[in-house]
Amino acid sequence: MNTTMNKTAVAKLRYLKIAPRKVRSVAGLIRGLSVPAAQAQLMVQTRRASTPLMKLLNSAVANAENLEMDVTKLYISSLRVDQGPMLKRMLPKARGRGTVLQKIMSHVTLELGEKEGLKQVPFVMPRRAKAEKGVTPKKEDKKPQHDHGSEEPKVKESKGIRAKLFNRKAGEA
């Protein structure tokens, strides 16, 4: 019997206010992928569930770094989306009736494992540089600076079709 224990990094996201059916559609795209490939896939997704899943993946990678796992060998070994609690609300309808709205939440569990020989993806998640305390970066002006003394401002020569059609005085056309 093999007694070697594989390390796994786990991150959980509970009470996500998106229905599990919608989260599962995005989770199915990244299940089994390497971490850089999953990050690249989540960055191009327009679905609303991709942002919380990206944060969860980054949290799991940070957990793996704390467990001293090799970050280059990480892949998504397990990604489970379960149904959380349901908020029940009422929407008023005609003749004194009401319709029940069920606001369903999700619980997401993500596990990262190590695997040898992962296909390298030419993508690296950009990390923010930590700002020094008390120093605020200056924003550079995006407008090119002009020397106003040498150039005259351009004057629009024609008034356009609208001004020609709707004149108050007939002689100005």
pLDDT tens digits, 4-31: 567 899 999 999 999 999 999 999 999 9
Distance between CA atoms of residues 119 and 122, nearest Å: 10
Residues written for the chain: 173
Joined together, the tokens standing for residue 159 give: 């008034």
Cα 65 from chain centroid (whole Å):
22
Joined together, the tokens standing for residue 64 give: 């793996």
Percentage of the chain exceeding pLDDT 70: 71
User: pTM higher than 0.75 for the full model?
Assistant: no
The set of residues, in sequence order, having a beta carbon less than 8 Å from that of 42 and lying 6+ positions away, is 26, 30, 50, 53, 54, 57
Choosing among 3.40.710.10, 3.90.470.10, 3.40.50.720, 3.30.420.40, the CATH entry for 8-114 is: 3.90.470.10
Q: pLDDT tens across 139-166, in order?
A: 665 555 555 556 665 655 666 666 666 6
Helices and strands in the chain, H and E counts: 4, 3
3-state SS, residue 8 = strand
Label the pairing between strands 8-16 and 98-114: antiparallel
β-partners of residue 106 are 16, 83
pLDDT at 63 over 90: yes
